[in-house]
């Protein structure tokens, strides 16, 4: 870590975040959440920066980043589609939703379209089981999905 | 002018997803334009329960309950109902049984059989306004505990109430508090387990979003009772709205002197910090949760010592689930006898369930313990939609089991459900009908738990994927009868030898379906048949020659071009080899000419086809 990095406003912000947790106990996961908000993902450079600034071995930072599903080490598309694969959605045909999205976007779970518009991802449960099957695009939840609705929703995001 | 009407707009996660905010804005505009803003107030509340019908709203004092409200309905509601006093009938909940329009919320069966204790404020108050909480007796229990009760008296009332952990295992809450109170350490911690990881569960989310102060008050009372100075609420990062409302609530409580230094000027100090999880199911296990709050990988630790003795940062720690915390203030305020008057002798109180799956009224419900599964699913839930037949209900998520129809009259309490091979669990309740394959459901849960195993111990890390292999074999038609014994044996061994609760319960969905639905497993193996027509390797699609009108819609929509035929010359034909069994043709055929086959007939057809 060095002054060169700190001239980058994103690193400078992360530096302030780490500073604000100085008195907290065990804040690594909280810092990583904020780091991912700032950078969009957690590449090795960012993990290293966190490691040095917090005095935590890089092996441990990497261990935590790779343990939790929420942290990403590769960049995402402009819009992230999270298909819910929870039980209620499964019972109501979440597999079909994934299949339809695969047909429409040409990508599977964990992949990003070539134009970097969409990343397709899966979540365990969004807790919107009453509307199953559901997917979340960025922060917006779409429920009671069928082929027509999925197509319609995707059109709103394609640009 | 005095206020005439309160319009409660549900802002639970499901209604927000159905665009309740747009409805609120439209209503607010109409109310302003008609000069009613002094007479009518809009309140955004937490989840009201019937998520399927969202956005929903409730008008007080007349109790009219509106469903599926759209922004364009706002003008009519304001004109007709708010100005002229005539509720808009077409938007009111229609009771499907009686075929009549129900105006009052109390008369709706979905609500009539529920008993709201924990969810009392959910859907009634604005969760972002502490004054509304206080007006509903909020923080009165905290005041009572701090000023009129000794620490051990608080613990005693919780013990006497018989409250048991609502996270699923049902450990007596008072006993846990006692352990922490008598443990020694320079600091003690109080933790709220809000890592609601079971797929199909949204009770904790709804409570934290709808009434965050109830949880905060419960934790503060406990901190006083056990002598803790700091609290943590561990919550899933997937719940941003709950996190936001909690932060607002914590800020308001601090400002009013209900949290922080010298609470209510009694000399007692306590504060709470929110910690976000990062997507790991195992973190619902208390020692893994503690590791995660400490910033570590969420890996379970050896017990004993239990967290009550050595928990967070090595100090005595009291961990309870969100819903357990939600009960505390009511017990302190109303007493143990009151609490025991609800529910059953060994499982007093209520339980919140997230009802979902193949049931008419999906949503959030709270019932007294001891109600039967049938009452919950058929009276409150309204039964199975589309005239289908009930097959099973799944409780307890990936740690629980499937209960078949013949046990529907079992009362809902910790012991009864356990006896059936299921568990109470945290409150996810998923209803399945004849279109759900039980082997597939078992496979689904095993996929989940194998994926979420933290990898620390061998039985869970290696055993679960082996069970999953067997299930995959069976659902693809390659299973043998020996596989059933193997599943049983392996499942029991994993339960016996796993390190933490994840592994110790993960085989339950398989063992319980084996117990109650062995015939379905046998059919998959012996007849290569999936009666629910779910397992794609065991089904085939056919076009009925007589019903086909040769419109060509199926062929146009088939993603792999497996359907051929000539427009206007029936029938169209599905190429078995090319078909990926996605079901699109079935979905799009306007004449119902596409059928799914499984079992003998389809195997016979396959053989003939290969000749």
B49 touching chain A per CB within 8 A = no
Instruction: Determine whether the interchain pair B278/A130 forms a contact, defined as Cβ–Cβ distance below 8 Å.
Output: no
Residue A131: per-residue pLDDT:
83
User: With 60 as the cut, is the pLDDT of residue B99 above it?
Assistant: no
User: With 70 as the cut, is the pLDDT of residue B503 above it?
Assistant: yes
Number of other residues whose CB lies within 10 A of the CB of residue B556? 10
Q: What is the mean pLDDT of residues B154-164?
A: 98
Q: Whose structure tokens read 């919780």?
A: B158
B17 touching chain A per CB within 8 A = yes
Interface mutation target, options A125, A138, A149, chain B, most CBs of B under 10 Å: A125
User: With 70 as the cut, is the pLDDT of residue A90 above it?
Assistant: yes
Instruction: Determine whether the interchain pair A131/B239 forms a contact, defined as Cβ–Cβ distance below 8 Å.
Output: no
- Closest A-chain CA to B535: A95
Instruction: Determine whether the interchain pair B202/A96 forms a contact, defined as Cβ–Cβ distance below 8 Å.
Output: no
Sorting pLDDT into bands at 50, 70 and 90, what band is B611?
very low
Quick one: CA torsion of B407, B409, B412, B413, rounded to 10 degrees? Answer: -80
| Angle (deg, nearest 10), helices A147-157 and A94-105 | 50
Residue range(s) in chain B whose domain bears CATH number 3.10.20.600: 350-433
User: With 70 as the cut, is the pLDDT of residue B1 above it?
Assistant: no
**Residues of chain A contacting B51 with CB distance shorter than 8 Å:** 128-131
**CB contact residues (below 8 A), chain B span 246-285, against chain A:** 273, 275-281
On average, the pLDDT of chain A sits at 91
B362 touching chain A per CB within 8 A = yes
Closest CA to B512 of B451, B611, B573, B438: B438
Instruction: Determine whether the interchain pair A87/B394 forms a contact, defined as Cβ–Cβ distance below 8 Å.
Output: yes
Per-residue burial over B577-595, b if 16 or more Cβ lie within 10 Å, else e, is eebebbbbbbeebeeebbe
Interface mutation target, options A103, A130, A131, A133, chain B, most CBs of B under 10 Å: A130
Instruction: Determine whether the interchain pair B295/A131 forms a contact, defined as Cβ–Cβ distance below 8 Å.
Output: no
Closest CA to B321 of B354, B347, B367, B284: B284
Q: Which helix (H) or strand (E) holds B136?
A: none
Residue range(s) in chain B whose domain bears CATH number 3.40.50.11540: 130-339
- Beta strands B563-566 and B569-574, pairing class: antiparallel
- Through-space distance between the first and last CA atoms of chain A, rounded to whole angstroms: 38
User: With 80 as the cut, is the pLDDT of residue B294 above it?
Assistant: yes
B198, B293, B445 ranked by CB distance to A26: nearest:
B293
Token output for B102: 């129900």
**Residues of chain B contacting A33 with CB distance shorter than 8 Å:** 237, 276, 278
- Closest B-chain CA to A62: B297
- Closest B-chain CA to A134: B17
Q: What is the mean pLDDT of residues B352-370?
A: 93
- Closest B-chain CA to A54: B295
Predicted TM-score (pTM) of this structure: 0.90
Sorting pLDDT into bands at 50, 70 and 90, what band is A159?
low
Q: Whose structure tokens read 């012996």?
A: B526
Q: Which helix (H) or strand (E) holds B194?
A: strand B189-194
> Rounded to whole angstroms, how far apart are CA atoms B568 and B69?
43
> Rounded to whole angstroms, how far apart are CA atoms B514 and A59?
43
**Residues of chain A contacting B358 with CB distance shorter than 8 Å:** 91-92
Angle at alpha carbon of residue A90, lines to A87 and A96, rounded to 5°: 165
**Residues of chain B contacting A126 with CB distance shorter than 8 Å:** 13, 238
**Residues of chain A contacting B240 with CB distance shorter than 8 Å:** 139
> Rounded to whole angstroms, how far apart are CA atoms B396 and B400?
4
B13, B279, B587 ranked by CB distance to A147: nearest:
B587
On average, the pLDDT of chain B sits at 92
Residue A87: per-residue pLDDT:
81
Alpha-carbon distances of B217 from B139, B263, B365, B393, B584, rounded to whole Å: 6, 12, 22, 34, 52
B231 touching chain A per CB within 8 A = no
Residue B539, classed as helix, strand or coil, is strand
A137 touching chain B per CB within 8 A = no
User: With 50 as the cut, is the pLDDT of residue B96 above it?
Assistant: yes
| Angle (deg, nearest 10), helices B482-497 and B464-475 | 160
Q: Whose structure tokens read 């379906």?
A: B513
Pure H helices in B168-239: 173-182, 203-210, 212-226
- Beta strands B5-10 and B317-321, pairing class: unpaired
Size of interface A-B (CB pairs under 8 A): 152
Sorting pLDDT into bands at 50, 70 and 90, what band is B583?
confident
Q: What is the mean pLDDT of residues B123-151?
A: 96
Contacts 24+ apart (CB under 8 A), B168-175: B168/B321, B168/B396, B168/B399, B168/B423, B168/B424, B168/B425, B168/B426, B169/B423, B169/B501, B170/B347, B170/B414, B170/B424, B173/B320, B173/B324
- Closest A-chain CA to B394: A87
| Domain B350-433 bears CATH identifier 1.10.3720.10 | no
**Percent of chain B residues past pLDDT 70, beyond the cut:** 96
Sorting pLDDT into bands at 50, 70 and 90, what band is B608?
low
**Residues of chain A contacting B54 with CB distance shorter than 8 Å:** 130-131
A35 touching chain B per CB within 8 A = no
Residue A155, classed as helix, strand or coil, is helix
**Residues of chain A contacting B297 with CB distance shorter than 8 Å:** 63-64, 67
Residue B102: per-residue pLDDT:
65
| Domain B5-107 bears CATH identifier 3.40.30.10 | yes
Q: Which residues is B441 bridged to in the sheet? A: none
Q: What is the mean pLDDT of residues B436-456?
A: 95
Shortest distance, CA B586 to any CA of chain A (angstroms):
13
Shortest distance, CA A46 to any CA of chain B (angstroms):
17
Shortest distance, CA A128 to any CA of chain B (angstroms):
5
Sorting pLDDT into bands at 50, 70 and 90, what band is B606?
low
Residue B604: per-residue pLDDT:
63
Phi, psi of B542 (to 5 degrees): -135, 150
Q: Which helix (H) or strand (E) holds B463?
A: none
CATH topology of domain B536-610: Alpha-Beta Plaits (3.30.70)
**Percent of chain B residues past pLDDT 90, beyond the cut:** 78
Instruction: Determine whether the interchain pair A130/B356 forms a contact, defined as Cβ–Cβ distance below 8 Å.
Output: yes
- ipTM, 2 dp: 0.86
Q: What is the mean pLDDT of residues B77-99?
A: 82
Instruction: Determine whether the interchain pair B430/A63 forms a contact, defined as Cβ–Cβ distance below 8 Å.
Output: no
Q: What is the mean pLDDT of residues A47-53?
A: 96
Q: What is the mean pLDDT of residues B24-40?
A: 93
Q: Which residues is B59 bridged to in the sheet? A: B7, B64
The full DSSP string for B378-427 is IIIS---GGGPPEEEEEESGGGSEEEEGGGTT-B-SHHHHHHTT----SS
Q: What is the mean pLDDT of residues A144-157?
A: 92
A26, A90, A139 ranked by CB distance to B444: nearest:
A90
- Closest B-chain CA to A103: B559
Residue A129: per-residue pLDDT:
78
**Percent of chain A residues past pLDDT 70, beyond the cut:** 97
CA A56 to centroid of chain Cα atoms: 24
Closest CA to A117 of A57, A151, A60, A76: A76
A68 touching chain B per CB within 8 A = yes
CB of B18 within 8 A of CB of A131? yes
| Domain B438-527 bears CATH identifier 3.40.50.2000 | no
**Residues of chain B contacting A129 with CB distance shorter than 8 Å:** 51, 200-202, 354, 356-357, 362, 428, 430
**Residues of chain A contacting B199 with CB distance shorter than 8 Å:** 85-90, 124-125
- Closest B-chain CA to A133: B357
B275, B356, B441 ranked by CB distance to A129: nearest:
B356
- Beta strands A140-142 and A118-123, pairing class: unpaired
CB of B165 within 8 A of CB of B173? yes
Q: What is the CA radius of gyration of chain A?
A: 18
| Domain B130-339 bears CATH identifier 3.40.190.10 | no
pLDDT digits (tens, 9 = 90+) for B509-559: 999 999 999 999 999 999 999 999 999 899 999 999 999 999 999 999 887
Instruction: Determine whether the interchain pair A30/B276 forms a contact, defined as Cβ–Cβ distance below 8 Å.
Output: yes
């Amino acid at each position: 870590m060095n002054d060169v990095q700190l001239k980058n406003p994103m690193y400078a912000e992360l530096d302030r975040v780490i500073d604000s947790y100085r008195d907290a106990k065990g804040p690594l996961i909280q810092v990583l959440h904020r780091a991912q908000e700032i950078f969009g993902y957690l590449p090795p450079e960012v993990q290293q920066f966190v490691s040095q600034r917090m005095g935590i071995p890089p092996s441990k930072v990497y261990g935590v980043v790779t343990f939790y599903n929420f942290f990403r080490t590769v960049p995402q598309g402009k819009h992230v589609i999270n298909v819910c694969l929870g039980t209620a959605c499964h019972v109501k045909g979440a597999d079909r939703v994934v299949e339809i999205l695969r047909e429409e976007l040409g990508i599977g779970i964990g992949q990003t379209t070539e134009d970097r518009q969409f990343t397709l991802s899966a979540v365990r449960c969004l807790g919107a089981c009453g509307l199953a099957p559901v997917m979340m695009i960025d922060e917006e939840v779409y429920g009671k999905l069928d082929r027509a609705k999925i197509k319609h929703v995707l059109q709103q995001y394609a640009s | 002018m005095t206020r005439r009407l309160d319009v409660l707009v549900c802002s639970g996660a499901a209604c927000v997803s159905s665009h309740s905010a747009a409805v609120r804005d439209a209503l607010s505009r109409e109310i302003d334009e008609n000069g009613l803003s002094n007479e009518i107030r809009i309140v955004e509340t937490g989840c009201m329960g019937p998520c399927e019908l969202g956005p929903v709203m409730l008008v007080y004092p007349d109790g009219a309950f509106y469903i599926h409200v759209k922004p364009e309905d706002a003008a009519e509601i304001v004109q007709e109902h708010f100005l002229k006093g005539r509720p808009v009938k077409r938007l009111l909940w229609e009771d499907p049984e009686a075929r009549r329009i129900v105006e009052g919320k109390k008369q709706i069966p979905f609500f009539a059989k529920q008993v709201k204790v924990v969810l009392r404020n959910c859907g009634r108050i604005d969760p972002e306004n502490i004054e509304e909480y206080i007006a509903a007796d909020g923080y009165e229990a905290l005041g009572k505990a701090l000023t009129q009760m000794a620490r051990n008296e608080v613990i005693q009332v919780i013990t006497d109430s018989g409250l048991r952990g609502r996270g699923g295992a049902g450990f007596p809450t008072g006993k846990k508090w006692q352990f922490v109170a008598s443990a020694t350490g320079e600091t003690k911690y109080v933790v709220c387990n809000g890592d609601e990881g079971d797929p199909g569960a949204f009770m904790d989310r709804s409570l934290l979003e709808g009434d965050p102060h109830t949880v905060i008050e419960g934790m503060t009372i406990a901190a006083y009772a056990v002598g803790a100075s700091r609290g943590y609420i561990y919550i899933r990062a997937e719940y941003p709205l709950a996190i936001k409302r909690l932060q607002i609530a914590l800020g308001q409580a601090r400002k009013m002197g209900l949290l922080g230094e010298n609470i209510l000027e009694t000399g007692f100090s306590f504060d709470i910090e929110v910690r976000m999880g990062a997507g790991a199911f195992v973190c619902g296990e208390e020692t893994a949760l503690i590791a995660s709050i400490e910033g570590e990988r969420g890996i379970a630790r050896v017990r004993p010592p239990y967290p009550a003795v050595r928990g967070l940062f090595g100090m005595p720690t009291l961990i309870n689930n969100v819903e357990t915390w939600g009960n505390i203030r009511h017990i302190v305020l109303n007493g143990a006898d009151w609490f025991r008057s609800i529910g059953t002798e060994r499982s007093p109180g209520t339980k919140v369930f997230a009802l979902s799956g193949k049931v008419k009224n999906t949503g959030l419900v709270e019932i007294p313990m001891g109600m039967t599964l049938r009452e919950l699913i058929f009276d409150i839930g309204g039964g199975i939609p589309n005239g289908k037949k009930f097959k099973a209900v799944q409780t307890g998520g990936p740690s629980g089991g499937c209960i078949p129809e013949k046990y529907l009259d079992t009362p809902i309490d910790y012991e009864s459900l356990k006896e059936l091979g299921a568990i109470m669990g945290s409150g996810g309740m998923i209803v399945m009908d004849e279109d759900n394959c039980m082997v597939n459901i078992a496979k689904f849960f095993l996929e989940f738990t194998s994926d979420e195993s933290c990898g620390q111990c061998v039985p869970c890390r290696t055993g679960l994927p082996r069970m999953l292999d067997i299930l995959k074999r069976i659902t693809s038609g390659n299973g043998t009868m020996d596989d059933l014994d193997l599943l049983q044996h392996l499942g029991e061994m994993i339960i016996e030898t796993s390190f933490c609760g994840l592994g110790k319960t993960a085989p339950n969905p398989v063992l319980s379906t084996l117990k109650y639905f062995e015939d379905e497993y046998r059919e998959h193996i012996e007849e290569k048949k999936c009666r629910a027509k779910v397992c794609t390797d065991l089904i085939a699609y056919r076009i009925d020659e007589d019903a086909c009108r040769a419109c060509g819609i199926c062929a146009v929509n088939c993603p792999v071009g497996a359907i051929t035929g000539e427009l206007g010359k029936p029938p169209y034909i599905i190429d078995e080899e090319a078909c990926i069994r996605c079901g699109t043709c079935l979905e799009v055929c306007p004449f119902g000419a596409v059928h799914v086959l499984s079992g003998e007939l389809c195997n016979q057809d396959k053989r003939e086809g290969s000749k």
